[in-house]
Structure 1
Amino acid sequence: MTTRNLPLVAMLTHSAALSGAELLVARVAAARVETEVIVVLGEHGPLESLLSGLGVEHEVVALDPSVTEHAADAAGGLLAKGVSTLRSTRALARRLRDLGADVVVTHSAKAHVYGGLAGRLARIPVVAYVHDVVGAAGASRANTLVLRAALTTLPAARIANSRTTARSLGRSGPAPAVIGCPVDLPDQAAPSAPGPFTIGMVGRLTRWKGQDIAVRAFAAARALGLDPDARLRLIGAAHFGTDDHHAAELHTLVTELDLTAVVEFRGHRQDVDAEISACDLLVHASRRPEPFGQVVTEAMALGRPVIAADAGGPAEVLTHGEDGLLVRPGDVDALAHAILRLAGDEQERNRLARNGRHSAARYATPHIVAQIERVLVSAAR
């Protein structure tokens, strides 16, 4: 480590995949001003290359494979894996002491548990940066209890990415600072996309993200008069084994609805901004409340109008009819009519896009990182 005058922040995440929380870690670490940052990963993976490209110091403190295994229920059953979790926790605590970290920030459900424990063992203040709704549908009761206990007892401070996430933490433990996710705001909106009218949806191919809802709404909008040349682009891939079945079902649904010529499966893409810019409209259709919904603010920053599910973070970001449209989660008919409304009204799309860029400025990276660093500097020993 080099000589430093700023507090050293160790940002922990068990995963080195390029998912929402990990991309946020990279963005915040690269933009820090009032702190020094080292990102500590629990495994090797593509996040390492991204961090290297951004000039962010990072290292891997390899966790037991039973701790880092990827599963849809992200709390991971760490209590049931007590021996391996304890071994990993002790090794991490030693490394954090050797690094001279002034504050530890945990960024994933598993990291909140093993990283929170490691920070306490090393006698270093812990900040839990919570990116997910605790106790969301699909999480087991046992893992939710473990995660909630860790988030209540281990951190000295907590950050929640939305009011929705903050409410899920309950009333015990430090009062969370609600800080939205940072977004890079280009000087100008992305140029208009050439070719047929294109609707984009970005996200992991998993049932709760609602790609099937978007496909059905697209089909319904076509039946109501949407330009038959219009396209739907699904940007994202299945991440966990349980997602593979949903991805197969989506392909089957597209075939059954005779949409194979107009629905594109783009898979995982590195340059999400370019994918969004190639669309005329972005749709968000999650079945359950999204913790924040970074893709919503990313589209707004790029000057693309957004239709989003009226729940969770997107409902906090958007004001219906002013800087986007909100529809009831899971309502195929409402989403179809919203798509049809914007597809046929370029002036309205442009108005929502302009207002959306103005609203996205609230989440500009320098502004959000400054808020995050205030919490971290305050918590540092």
Structure 2
Amino acid sequence: MSDVILSPPDQQIATLPEEPQLRPLAKVAHVINGEFYSGAERVQDLLGKCLPSFGYDVSFVCLKPGQFAESRSASVGPIYDLPMRSRLDLWKAKTLADLIKQENFEIVHAHSPRNAMIGMGAAYLANVPFVYHVHSPTSRDSTHQFRNWVNQRIEQVSVTRAEKLVCVSNSLAAHMKSLGVPESRLAVVHNGVPQVFDVPYRELPVGDWTLGTVALFRPRKGLEVLLEAMAQLRERGHQVRLRAVGRFETPDYEQKIKSLVTQLRLAEAIDWVGFTNDVVSEFAKMDLFVLPSLFGEGLPMVVLEAMATGVPVVATDVEGVTEAIIDGESGIIAIPNDPNNLAQRIESILIGTVDWRAMRRNAMERHAESFSDMAMARGVASVYDEILQRTPAVLETV
């Protein structure tokens, strides 16, 4: 156990749940990468915050310690650093199994192919149930086909011992079923983000429009497509600016994007914000949120966050997006990897063909009904309840 590092005490301070549970907490170890803080990490963070309301105490085990520990907003539950020396450092499964026994964890819940491999082995050695969270289609997770193939094979082998696979969208559940996972082992729990109760009233933008996008910028996010669409819109006389929130995955990709910006003469029309923990305040500075992903999504958290804050969304037709957005009603759906179509769909809002005010109102209502963080936690807790044969927690509103 000497290579398990427990984060400082200030990261272990638990807060009282918003809705008190009336049964003893069962302990769950969420095995994560922890290197970045993006969509999947936001899910993990919110589950750590909300699951105690449904009878489950969450701890995190980071196999690639990094940005998660310093960026998570909830700060609930301890973080154990268990850094892998390489992708093949399978001995970490034994170390994790020892930790599971020592801390009396009742479920191991993994979130990526790497930590599925370690989590599965540790759960087997410790004789506790194993759950796997499917955040995106591994076979289409990046532009590196060999890496995708390797990760898919690791995932397929690792999930054979999973009691349940939690898929963040129906499209992902169908994808896993096509790979041979029995339907009885699949559960769909849509992602969710906190409801924003004090969204300020906003007037319809006139003249200048600020387009926004939030991502860990990498090739499959389609930033090039958005830049080309934006250049078209400016050529047609629309005064649009871009507010880009997030960091680049690699320096090489950043250089490629900045070169394209220069080529399209957009340098003066883009604000590069970088990474921020306060995404909600960034949405308040956007008139439209654009997610131009090419592929490889599950149910994008940033789409839900934009909906919650009343920022109309234009997103491409990739996995999970159409489960959150109703085209023309609570958002706009565009064709992936098609700058012309993306420009046309954005323009339909700029010229008033689509009602910006109605879309804003409908998006907030749809989020509140179906995509809150508590709804997500309730769904995951129901999976745990089924596995442990527990009666669902009885909640009382304070």
Provide the TM-score with structure 1 as the length reference: 0.88
Secondary structure class of the residue paired with 2:185: coil
Match of 1:184 among 191, 194, 198: 194
Residue 175 of structure 1 pairs with residue 182 of structure 2: no
Q: What code does the residue aligned with 1:318 have?
A: I
Instruction: Answer whether contact 1:199 1:279 (CA < 8 A) is retained.
Output: yes
Match of 2:226 among 184, 204, 214: 214
Residue 302 of structure 1 pairs with residue 322 of structure 2: no
Tell which deviates more after alignment, 213-222 or 347-356: 347-356
Residues in 2 aligned to 1:25 and 1:292: alpha-carbon distance in whole angstroms = 14
Instruction: Answer whether contact 1:289 1:313 (CA < 8 A) is retained.
Output: no
Deviation at 1:289, TM superposition (A): 4.3
Identify the residue that residue 7 of structure 1 maps to in structure 2: 26
CA deviation vs aligned residue, 1:262-297 (integer Å, no higher than 9, x gap): 112211122111111110000110111421111111
Identify the residue that residue 128 of structure 2 maps to in structure 1: 124
Instruction: Answer whether contact 1:7 1:377 (CA < 8 A) is retained.
Output: no
Residue 333 of structure 1 pairs with residue 337 of structure 2: no
Residues in 2 aligned to 1:10 and 1:294: alpha-carbon distance in whole angstroms = 22
Residues in 2 aligned to 1:128 and 1:211: alpha-carbon distance in whole angstroms = 30
**1:14–1:64 Cα change, 3 Å:** same
Deviation at 1:238, TM superposition (A): 1.5
Identify the residue that residue 30 of structure 1 maps to in structure 2: 49
Counting only pairs closer than 5 Å after superposition, residues 151-300 of structure 1 correspond to structure 2 as: 151=159, 153-169=160-176, 170-173=179-182, 174-192=184-202, 196-227=208-239, 230-239=240-249, 243-300=250-307
Residues in 1 aligned to 2:104 and 2:365: alpha-carbon distance in whole angstroms = 41
Residues in 1 aligned to 2:229 and 2:254: alpha-carbon distance in whole angstroms = 17
Residues in 2 aligned to 1:207 and 1:214: alpha-carbon distance in whole angstroms = 12
Instruction: Answer whether contact 1:233 1:263 (CA < 8 A) is retained.
Output: yes
Residues in 2 aligned to 1:47 and 1:283: alpha-carbon distance in whole angstroms = 25
Deviation at 1:380, TM superposition (A): 3.0
Identify the residue that residue 149 of structure 1 maps to in structure 2: 157
Deviation at 1:191, TM superposition (A): 4.6
Instruction: Answer whether contact 2:97 2:122 (CA < 8 A) is retained.
Output: yes
Instruction: Answer whether contact 1:130 1:160 (CA < 8 A) is retained.
Output: yes
Deviation at 1:47, TM superposition (A): 2.2
Deviation at 1:188, TM superposition (A): 3.7
Match of 1:318 among 318, 325, 329: 325
Tell which deviates more after alignment, 170-179 or 119-128: 170-179
Residues in 2 aligned to 1:203 and 1:191: alpha-carbon distance in whole angstroms = 26
Instruction: Answer whether contact 2:57 2:77 (CA < 8 A) is retained.
Output: no
Residues in 2 aligned to 1:346 and 1:143: alpha-carbon distance in whole angstroms = 44
Q: Which segments of 5 or more consecutive residues in structure 1 lack a partner in the other structure?
A: 68-80
Residue 133 of structure 1 pairs with residue 145 of structure 2: no
Instruction: Answer whether contact 1:89 1:117 (CA < 8 A) is retained.
Output: yes
Identify the residue that residue 364 of structure 1 maps to in structure 2: 372
Q: What code does the residue aligned with 2:384 have?
A: L
Identify the residue that residue 48 of structure 1 maps to in structure 2: 69
Deviation at 1:331, TM superposition (A): 1.1
Identify the residue that residue 376 of structure 1 maps to in structure 2: 384
Match of 1:58 among 63, 78, 96: 78
Instruction: Answer whether contact 1:105 1:129 (CA < 8 A) is retained.
Output: yes
Residues in 2 aligned to 1:61 and 1:306: alpha-carbon distance in whole angstroms = 37
CA deviation vs aligned residue, 1:222-241 (integer Å, no higher than 9, x gap): 112212xx2111111113xx
Residues in 1 aligned to 2:305 and 2:192: alpha-carbon distance in whole angstroms = 9
Match of 1:111 among 111, 115, 122: 115
Deviation at 1:299, TM superposition (A): 0.3
The total of aligned residue pairs comes to: 357
Instruction: Answer whether contact 1:211 1:234 (CA < 8 A) is retained.
Output: no
Deviation at 1:16, TM superposition (A): 4.2
Residues in 1 aligned to 2:251 and 2:384: alpha-carbon distance in whole angstroms = 38
Deviation at 1:54, TM superposition (A): 2.7
Q: What's the RMSD between the two structures over aligned residues?
A: 2.2
Residues in 2 aligned to 1:38 and 1:356: alpha-carbon distance in whole angstroms = 33
Q: Percent same amino acid at aligned positions?
A: 24
Instruction: Answer whether contact 2:117 2:155 (CA < 8 A) is retained.
Output: yes
Residues in 1 aligned to 2:294 and 2:64: alpha-carbon distance in whole angstroms = 31
Instruction: Answer whether contact 2:328 2:354 (CA < 8 A) is retained.
Output: no
Instruction: Answer whether contact 1:208 1:286 (CA < 8 A) is retained.
Output: yes
Residues in 2 aligned to 1:328 and 1:43: alpha-carbon distance in whole angstroms = 35
